[in-house]
Structure 1
Amino acid sequence: MCTSLTFQTTTGDRFLARTMDFAFELGGRPVAIPRHHHFSSVTNAAGFDAPYSFVGTGRDLNGYILVDGVNEYGVSAAALYFSGQAHYETEAVADQINLAPHEVLMWILGNVKSTAELGERLADLNIMEAAAPLLNIVVPLHWIISDRDGNTYVLEQETDGMHYMENPVGVMTNTPDFGWQLKNLSNYLQLQPGPHPSRQMGDLKVNAFGPGTGAMGMPGDYTSPSRFVRTAFMRQYTDDVAEDSAAINALSHMLNSVEIPKGVKLSADGSADYTQYRAYMSMHEPAFYIQPYDDQTITRVALTDALMTADQPTEFALKKSQQFNAVN
């Protein structure tokens, strides 16, 4: 289970951020994929090519798999769980690009320059039931995609086909489907950052207890609908900022409201979903930032010419903070 959102500075720079919430230890780290990298595929022997360079969270599982990132043209994307509603094809289709769900994000980042181009090329994609390495399951996914012009879309494939929908709120979480999540926002029109006005009830004038009462009724649990509402509220009312560093800081604080500590969200089998990391994709630089659970230090990797033209993908170790200084 994950949460994602977009954010824009007052100078027009755009970001896509996400939490990665999962029980299984994914072990991802920053990986820069160079131009013209060839990916193997579990759906076909030929695999697929990625003409464009990108950087994101990945792991080498006899070939790199990435779950989020930003490419050299400023297209950013993240894959999020879509259990219970994702539906994929069972057969390969000749003359189409046959991909497993966990391969879609790499194809997008490696092949398109904008969300509009992706919309034009979706007819060429056939997303198939094929298991991902490490997890050994067909991963139920949907995707949020954004570009440096501020266009944001959601891609979902269900039993009635593929849906590529404009995202007017810049937020995505998990199941239910994106259309349902948008409709559910109608249940929370009372939310506001300031207190509600005083009201007369009979002969009694009822006053709000103070600042913060405007957000009373905002759901605080870790379900997907609650995280969607909470994140949409945070994104709408968080103060504008101008600098990139301030944008990363603001996004980090917004995602604090949906971060899942270890132990507070348990599955029936006792496993604990928790926020393994937060990622921040800067579309104008382009650059990738990652903030792991065990050490809140942020590691930044910018797509340099050297990384984009390297012979092989480049992995980066996560930075570690220094020990706390004792203050007497």
Structure 2
Amino acid sequence: MKSAFHALSRQQTEARHKAKPRHQFKALCAAMALVFAAAVPVQTATACTGVTLVADDGAVIFARTEEWGTFDLNSRITIVPRGYQINTDLPDGKKGMSWKTKYGLVGVDALNKDLFIDGMNEKGLTANLFYHEGFAEYAKYDPAKADSSVPILALAPYLLTNFANTDEVRAALEKIQVVGVHVDAIGGVPPVHIFLTDPRGKAIVVEFTKGVTTVHEAPLGVVTNGPNYDWHMNNLLNYVNLDEPLPHRQAKDIKAIKFGAGARLYGLPGDLTSPSRFLRAAAYASTARKTADGDETLYEAFRVLDNFNLTVGTAAEGGGEVNQKGMRSSTIWTTAYDTKNLVMHYHTMHNRRVREVDFNNLDFNAKEVVRLPLDKEKSQDIEQLFPPKNG
């Protein structure tokens, strides 16, 4: 076990060394700040979990829960077309990077603002923000590099609207500076890391540690919150006995871990902390049933993530409740993206019915951003059954 731990650490160390927006599209960094300014405290309100499943036909599905136990994010589906102008603002008021979108994007925003917690572009690249409090530390802002600086809160849409896969993302990250935006309400910058998946099944986690942007491989396709991603991967080696005792397990075998079921999962942590959820996500994803195609795999992804739904009280303990009026769950919505067939499915805390956004039905040549409510009505549509009448 010790040798495997050090081998994995060595592998990961080597890998590490390898104008204002028009219309209503507000500066993303300023809009995102409103989310965190409204939540005091937020550290007990975020417990998101993400998993990746692959169908027999090669369709890669990434799905995640969005936990926010302090108040309703009032999220919407937002569709951004190609050729749309996006500008960013930096901490000193200077303009950061600006660009016209190369690819269309569908995502979920927050607080009725054009910011994205997750999304997928028309090439099947997904990007998802996960809270990373206590570990995220961005590069110090250098005014001399303003034109190549991207606020952390605008990074996900920048990547989704410009690049087609994780390799292109890696190359782009080497040419930009990712900087934080101070928010007085939380005494600092919103701490996040970003999980990206593409149709080839390649997944990476972009983290910011001591001012350095670090890209981690994510071979299992699962993600939660802190600590840093390499810690989570190392921690998996403490639980290989859930598969079967193999004293000579090698780090390269991490992809092949099959956690088993039933009694063989004895000892799997069941609490709500990020490390425990990471372990469960890896176990449940690796034991998910085989599925033929993207449509069936989308359903399986929801079944897996059902294990991570949280009540309002459990995710906002210790004074995190700010304004829970109207909230039915801390898991306020769950999304699943089919990166091959370009379909998004989701359900919400108000309505467990699965809804679909098919990219093939969208016009990414439109001139305006389109926004749709997650819930037309904040209620569950329940089908009533009646017995047949005699005669």
Smaller-chain TM-score range?
0.7 to 0.9
| Pair 281,135 (structure 1): closer, same or farther in 2 beyond 3 Å | farther
**Match in the other structure for 2:63:** 17
1:220 corresponds to which of 250, 254, 270: 270
Aligned to 1:198: none
- Displacement, 1:285? 2.1
CA distance in 1, matches of 2:83, 2:240: 48
**Aligned match of 1:308:** 364
Residue identity opposite 2:373 in structure 1: A
Q: Distance in 2 between matches of 1:33 and 1:188?
A: 42
Residue number in structure 2 paired with 1:105: 156
Distance 1:306 1:167, change over 3 A: closer
Write the distance in 2 (CA, Å) between the matches of 1:91 and 1:145: 24
What code does the residue aligned with 1:45 have?
K
Q: What is aligned with 2:343?
A: 287
Q: Is the 8 A contact 2:166 2:202 kept in 1?
A: yes
Aligned residue-pair number: 310
The yes-or-no answer on 1:117 pairing with 2:168 is: yes
SS of the counterpart of 1:238? Answer: coil
Distance 2:283 2:349 in 1: 24
Distance 1:301 1:97, change over 3 A: farther
Which residue identity lines up with residue 208 of structure 2 in the other structure?
Answer: Q
Aligned partners of 1:96 and 1:124 also within 8 Å: no
Gapped regions of structure 2 (runs ≥ 5)? 1-46, 245-260
Alpha-carbon distance in 2 for matches of 1:298, 1:217: 33
1:127 Cα shift? 1.4
Give the alignment of 1:183-262 within 5 angstroms. Answer: 183-192=234-243, 212-262=262-312
Could you tell me how far apart the structure 1 residues matched to 2:119 and 2:53 are? 15
State yes or no: 1:156 paired with 2:207.
Answer: yes
Q: Which shows bigger deviation, 21-30 or 76-85?
A: 21-30
Give the direction of change, closer, same or farther, for the CA distance of 1:83–1:231 in structure 2 (3 Å limit): same
User: Which deviates the most, 92-101 or 168-177?
Assistant: 92-101
Distance of 2:185 and 2:361 partners within structure 1:
32
Q: How much has 1:258 moved relative to structure 2?
A: 1.4
- Taking the aligned partners of 1:267 and 1:119, their CA distance within structure 2 comes to 37
Question: What is the CA deviation profile of residues 154-198 of structure 1, one whole-angstrom value per residue up to 9, with x for unaligned ones?
Answer: 100110511111111111110100000011111211224x9xxxx
Aligned with residue 35 of structure 1, among 76, 79, 82: 82
The residue that corresponds to 1:182 in the other structure is 233
Higher mean Cα deviation, 238-247 or 44-53? 44-53
Would the alpha carbon gap of residues 279 and 258 (structure 1) be closer, same or farther in structure 2, given more than 3 Å must change? same
Q: CA RMSD in A?
A: 2.5
The secondary structure found in structure 1 opposite 2:171 is helix
- What is the aligned counterpart of 1:64 among 114, 118, 125? 114
Contact 2:119–2:126, Cα closer than 8 Å, also in 1: yes
* Overall identity of the aligned pairs, in %: 23
TM-score with structure 1 length normalisation?
0.87
User: With structure 2 as the length reference, what TM-score do the two structures score?
Assistant: 0.73
Cα deviation per residue 1:26-51 (whole Å; 9 max; x = unaligned)?
11121111012222323143652222
Q: Which residue of 1 aligns with 2:382?
A: 323
Distance 1:101 1:22, change over 3 A: same
Report the Cα offset of residue 60 of structure 1: 7.1
- Cα displacement (A) at 1:303: 2.1
Q: CA deviation at 1:134?
A: 10
1:8 aligns with 2:27: no
> Aligned to 1:84, which of 110, 130, 134?
134
SS of the residue aligned with 1:285? coil
| Alpha-carbon displacement from aligned partner over 1:282-309 (angstroms, at most 9, x marks no partner) | 1112122221112112221122475211
Aligned amino acid, residue 316 of structure 1? L
Q: Deviations over 1:118-144 (max 9, x none)?
A: 111112221112147999962111011
Which is worse superposed, 31-40 or 110-119? 31-40
* CA distance in structure 2 between the partners assigned to 1:281 and 1:306 by the alignment: 15
Kept after mapping to 2: 8 A contact 1:291/1:297: yes
Change (3 A) 1:288 1:177: same
Note the C-alpha offset of 1:212.
Answer: 1.5
In structure 1, C-alpha distance between the alignment counterparts of 2:123 and 2:185, rounded to whole Å: 30
- Once the two structures are superposed, residues 237-293 of structure 1 have per-residue CA deviations (whole angstroms, 9 ceiling, x without a partner) of 111101323111110111111111222233321428821111111111212222111
Does the aligned pair in 2 maintain the 1:21–1:276 contact within 8 Å? yes
2:195 counterpart of 1:144: yes
Letter in 2 for 1:32: I
Letter in 2 for 1:35: R
Contact 1:7 1:16 in 2 (8 A): yes
SS at match of 1:117: helix
**For residues 183-222 of structure 1, what are the alpha-carbon distances to aligned partners after superposition, in whole Å with 9 as ceiling and x for unaligned?**
1111211224x9xxxxxxxxxxxxxxxx721111111111
> Is contact 2:96-2:147 (8 Å) kept?
no
